[in-house]
Chains A and B, each alone.
Chain A
Amino acid sequence: NAGVTQTPKFQVLKTGQSMTLQCAQDMNHNSMYWYRQDPGMGLRLIYYSASEGTTDKGEVPNGYNVSRLNKREFSLRLESAAPSQTSVYFCASKKGQGNTEAFFGQGTRLTVV
C-alpha cells in the first residue's frame, strides 16, 4: 500500500542547477498533479496530467516542466533553479475525471541557495 511515492525527500540546489523530482503512484489513477506549498499560501497547482499522454499548466507553471512518463509516473523538472523555487513540493493523484478525492505523497523539501 505505497500510494503516492515521491523522491527525493530533501534536496539542496545551487541557483542555476537543474533537477527532476520523481513521483509514482500504484493506485492505477489516471490523473496526477504537482503542487508547491509555501508558508501562508496553502497549496498551489504547478502542473497536472489528466491522463497518460496529457499535461496542462496550473496556477504557477513558470520555471517548471513536467513529463507523464507512463500511467504510474509524473516527474517535475526545474531546468535552472532559482531561490524563489525554494518550497515543499507535493505530488498527488486521483482516479480521474469527476468528483473523486486526491491522494498526496509525503513531499519533497527543496532549498535553492
Chain B
Amino acid sequence: GQQLNQSPQSMFIQEGEDVSMNCTSSSIFNTWLWYKQDPGEGPVLLIALYKAGELTSNGRLTAQFGITRKDSFLNISASIPSDVGIYFCAGQRTGNQFYFGTGTSLTVIP
C-alpha cells in the first residue's frame, strides 16, 4: 500500500502545551491535507497545502508542506481539551487517490 508514516502514534499532553506531529512518505505528493477525527465521527478537514514550502495557519493550527514534497508537519499551539482526537495526514499525487497516514491520537490533560 501507499500508507504514509505518521508520528507520533499517540501523545498525552497538558492543557496549554504546544503539539507537533509529522507525516513522511517515500513518494512525492502534490497536495497534503490534515484531518481531525472525533470519536464516532468522520474526518474533518483542518488544513490543505498545495505548494512545496507552503506554511498555512488555521487559528491555533499551523501546517507546512515540506520542501522535498515527501513530508508535512502540523503544529497546534496552546492546546485545549477540545483538541482531543485523532489527527490524520493525507497525501495526493495526481489524479484522484488520497493516501492516509495511520493517525496520531492526541489526549489533552486539563
Which residues on A are within 8 Å of B, measured CB to CB? 4, 31, 33, 35, 40-45, 48, 50, 58-59, 90, 92, 94, 97, 99, 101-107
Contacts and interface: CB of A to CB of B under 8 A. Distances in A.
Interface stretch (B12-20, B39-47, B56-64, B70-78): B39-47
Contacts of B44: 104
Given A48-B96, A103-B45, 11 more contacts: A4-B42, A33-B96, A42-B3, A42-B6, A44-B1, A48-B97, A101-B48, A102-B45, A104-B35, A104-B43, A105-B42
A90 B45 contact: no
Identify the 6 closest CB pairs spanning chains A and B, nearest first. Answer: A104-B42, A43-B100, A42-B102, A99-B31, A42-B100, A101-B48
Contacts, number: 63
A59 to B, nearest CB: 5
Contacts of B42: 4, 90, 92, 104-107
Interface of B: 1-4, 6, 30-31, 33, 35, 40-45, 48, 50, 88, 90, 92, 95-103
A56 to B, nearest CB: 8
B102 A41 contact: yes
B88 A42 contact: yes
B1 to A, nearest CB: 5
A97 B95 contact: yes
